[in-house]
Structure 1
Amino acid sequence: MTADKRRYVVAAIRAALVLTGAVVTVAVLYSFSTMSTASPSDNGFVRGLSYLFGSVFFILALGGAGLGLALPSLLGAEDALAFDRWQRRCLQGAGGLFVGGFVIGLVVGLLTELQFGLFLWLVAIVVAVLVVSCVLIWRLFEVFVTALVRLIAAETGE
């Protein structure tokens, strides 16, 4: 596979993961916000169950979007967002949490009970999404500071 083809495939997979994660996240949040209130005669079981499954879909969707952002770092491909070495390491760690959390969760679930493994995997996804979010904020702050320094340099004539 040529380098251009590989870059195109990675970009397509990345776009699909991020777009799907964002759409599902927005859909789950919209369904939560438009969910009707429980009637006084209802014990709230169905509503609680829908919140439980909706929360799992929400976490998985955010995890998919986070994995899409970390994918080039995991594969060692060039990244259009120009992450530096330490940011790429953090993204690789987040990718390790996505994949390793699944493997460890599966092993724990098979050895104990499946819901414990699922819970462990969901916690790993949440931590990985937090790492990806922090790296994105870090990169956005770098871009902001660089633009600010260029603006100040242009105004002072340096």
Structure 2
Amino acid sequence: MTADKRRYIVTAIRGVLVLTGAAVTVAVLYSLSTMPTASSSGDSFVRGLSYLFGSVFFVLALGGAGLGIALPSLLGAEDTLAFDRWQRRCLKGAGVLFVGGFVVGLVVGLLTQLQFGLLLWLVAIVLGVLVVSCVLVWRLFAVFVTALVRLIAAETGE
């Protein structure tokens, strides 16, 4: 497979993961925020289940978007966001949390009870999303500092 074809495939998969994750996240947040209030007739159980499943879908959608951002670092492909070496290492760690959390959660769920494995996997996804978010903020800050240094250098004539 040529490098251009591989880059195209990775970019397409990344785009699908990030856009789908973002769209599902927004849709879940909108549906949970516009849910009618519970009446006193006792439908709080159904409402609680909808919040529980909505939260699980929210975490999974964020995990999909985070995996999409970390995907080029996991595969060793070129990244258009130009992460540096340490940022790519952090993204690889987030990818290990996403994929490894699933494997460990599955094993724990099969050996003990399934809900413990699911909880472990969801916690790993949340940690992975936090790592990806921190790396994105780190990269944004690096771009800001680089632009500021260039602006100052242009102003002083250096």
Normalising TM by the smaller chain, what interval? over 0.9
Amino acid at match of 1:57: F
Matched, 1:120 2:120: yes
Q: Paired residue for 1:29? A: 29
Q: What does residue 15 of structure 2 align with?
A: 15
Match of 1:47 in 2: 47
In structure 2, the partner of 1:143 is 143
Distance 1:4 1:155 in 2: 39
- Counterpart for residue 131 of structure 1: 131
Q: Work out the number of aligned pairs and report it.
A: 158
For 1:58 and 1:50, locate their aligned partners in 2 and report how far apart those are by CA, in whole Å: 12
Partner residue in 2 for 1:104: 104
- Taking the TM superposition and a 5 Å limit, the aligned residue runs for 1:17-96 are 17-96=17-96
Q: Distance in 1 between matches of 2:87 and 2:149?
A: 21
- What secondary structure does 1:59 align onto? helix
Q: Which consecutive segments of 4 or more residues in structure 1 shift more than 4 A?
A: none
Deviation string, structure 1 residues 109-128 (Cα, Å, up to 9, x no partner)? 00000000000000000000
Once the two structures are aligned, what percentage of the paired residues are identical?
85
2: distance between equivalents of 1:56 and 1:152? 47
CA–CA distance in structure 2, aligned partners of residues 144 and 68 of structure 1: 24
What is the deviation of 1:43?
A: 4.5
2:102 is matched by which residue type in structure 1? F
Q: TM-score, normalised by structure 1?
A: 0.99
Q: How far does residue 157 in structure 1 lie from its aligned partner after superposition?
A: 1.6
Matches of 2:129 and 2:53 in 1, distance apart?
19
The Cα of 1:42 is off from its aligned counterpart by 2.1
CA deviation map 1:67-122 (0-9, x unaligned): 00000000000000000000000000100011110000000000000000000000
| Displacement of 1:154 | 1.1
Separation of aligned partners in 2, 1:65 and 1:115? 23
Which runs of 5 or more structure 1 residues have no equivalent in the other structure? none
Secondary structure at the aligned position of 1:79 is classed as coil
